[in-house]
Structure 1
């Protein structure tokens, strides 16, 4: 995908969720004990994934122990959070796994200390799994260095100047934008309140506190000063270039909206930035991760197999 973009001379940046997952894998690989423990998990998961007889026997142990009938999850390098999901599932059916492996000595055996380490690993990975689901494009230039920020501003100004010849299209753009907002609001009347209420619900107190911590951390990032220079006066526009530059800089200096606030509504109540709307539709509409499409593609592959 990267090569296709570069050959086509399309500017691109890596997805932030992708970068996050690379960090997680690099961190796990550093610790030799964790790497060996994860290798055990993968071997057991592969065993069940390749044997219907093994799955049936494991199900029998679960029924006898009164455990929920859950399958072992196979870790997949291209399926984000699957490492966490595999560990979490093994912990959930721990007793059945212990009974099964005790009768199949060719499989790795987990010691009590191994299970403690797996639980610690799951606790550490849980916030990253949450972040993968909740990250959004509200952070503006929060995670860019100064050189990248300057490059972004220049690109936006150049893009907007290229569109100067289409001034007559400005009003239709605004009307189209307001149509998007109306459609969005109608959808949210049915779902937004329910989603907000169910957001903190979890299966345990530990999960709840972890989720709350993550929400607090992401909210703090949004609430922090955008560039640390909010006290500076806005640039006084002199010519067209400076007008656009002033508009972009002033937008970046705006306080970031909250984690649960509606981005489309913000644009509706701030019409002074409508000149940026084309860039907004082009760049801010891109999701920060391709998890949903990856999951759909992966699911289709499983069905096909």
Structure 2
């Protein structure tokens, strides 16, 4: 997939959720007692999921203890948050499970130390679960990646967090190191510009150097667009379409030629008018940037797309970059969710469904919730 994206000439980014998954997996392996606790928890959940009698007995105990009538959750190892839900549900039903195990010698309960470790794991990983849900939603934006990573690092480094999870020192340190290693954005301008152009964040989560890089990237792109528009002689194809059809060397030469064309144009303009220090288009973008940064930030839960739609006339140049950079984050969650929808339609009792009918059913199943089932 990476090779195909590179050959096509498109820009790309790693899957944020997959990188988060790998970071959490490595941190769990760093503390053996955590792995032992999770293995013991899985054995308990498997016992109830494989036995209808055990599940019925657990329900009756839940009623006696006035506990929520919830089933235990079986985790899937390719989704770290399913392991989190397993631990969370197990802690919720701790009293019922412990009471059930007292009458069944073949099932081993968690020790007191393991229950305490399980509770601390839930406390430590709760923010990661919340961010995973936010990023997995259909309206998530790539501009949220840097703020989420920065916030998680700050959360792990706080003394208050360390006090809540005193038995997870190794895991917390490993998690902090993995996040720093996997989420370094210094050379990734698309993330910097996207965060810069999100009215909820702007430069709040960027360092001084990162903010300046994002600003310069926008100004450079504006200058290139201005030069391309003035020097273009082919009206039938846009510069973006041309760029996607070129190989790496040709794209490099295109940027090279475009840059020196700008150099010649600036030099010529300065010869004509010595007092003209900057291109008018550049001045316009600079003014928009300055005014944009002076306005207040939006609330974290606000919709940046609606904000740019409402302020498109006020920021005609910046809004063009917002449409390009404020894309969905690199994630396979949404496509896998669509595959699951198809899997629910194609089952053993409907294995002779025609492809065109299956496609229609997937389309309806996916899109009806978007219009609140009003048809």
Q: TM-score, normalised by structure 1?
A: 0.61
Q: CA shift at 1:122, angstroms?
A: 0.8
CA distance 1:11–1:130, shift in 2 (3 Å)? same
Deviates more, 1:35-44 or 1:72-81: 72-81
Listed as ranges, the gaps of 5+ residues in structure 1 are 154-218
Q: 1:149 aligns with which of 189, 210, 234?
A: 189
In the alignment, which residue of structure 1 is the partner of 2:83?
Answer: 83
Aligned to 1:131: 131
Provide the residue aligned with 1:260 in structure 2. 301
Q: CA deviation at 1:47?
A: 2.0
Q: If the length of structure 2 is used for normalisation, what is the TM-score?
A: 0.51
Q: Deviations over 1:179-234 (max 9, x none)?
A: xxxxxxxxxxxxxxxxxxxxxxxxxxxxxxxxxxxxxxxx8x76626341568998
| 1:286 paired to 2:286 | no
Distance 1:287 1:69 in 2: 37
- Would you say 1:96 and 2:101 are equivalent positions? no
Separation of aligned partners in 2, 1:47 and 1:19? 32
Per the alignment, residue 16 of structure 1 pairs with 16
SS of 2:96's equivalent in the other structure is helix
Q: What is the rounded CA distance, in whole Å, between the counterparts of 2:106 and 2:290 in structure 1?
A: 59
CA positional deviation for 1:274: 4.2
Q: Measured at CA, do residues 81 and 282 of structure 1 come closer, stay the same or move farther in structure 2, by a change above 3 Å?
A: same
CA distance in 2, matches of 1:222, 1:103: 59
Moved over 3 A (4+): 1-11, 138-146, 150-153, 229-239, 241-248, 250-258, 270-283, 287-305
TM-superposed deviation, 1:96? 1.3
1:47-75 per-position Cα deviation (integer Å, ceiling 9, x unaligned): 22222222122112222222221101001
Please say which structure displays the higher CA radius of gyration: 2
RMSD between superposed Cα atoms in Å:
4.2
Matched, 1:108 2:101: no
Instruction: Note the 1:158-237 alignment, pairs <5 A.
Output: 224=204, 226-228=206-208
Query: How far 1:131 sits from its partner (Å)?
Result: 1.3
What is the CA–CA distance in structure 2 between the aligned matches of 1:144 and 1:272, rounded to whole Å? 33
Give, in angstroms, the shift of residue 298 of structure 1: 5.0
Q: Where does structure 2 lack aligned partners over 5 or more consecutive residues?
A: 148-182, 194-199, 228-261, 263-278, 349-375
How far apart are residue 99 of structure 1 and its match?
2.0
Q: Is the 8 A contact 1:80 1:291 kept in 2?
A: no
Is contact 1:139–1:222 with CA below 8 Å preserved after alignment? no
For the residues of structure 2 that align with 1:46 and 1:2, how far apart are their CA atoms?
37
* C-alpha distance 297-104 of structure 1, shift in aligned 2 (>3 A): farther
Q: Distance in 1 between matches of 2:334 and 2:290?
A: 29
Secondary structure in 1 matching 2:188: helix
**For the residues of structure 2 that align with 1:269 and 1:57, how far apart are their CA atoms?**
60
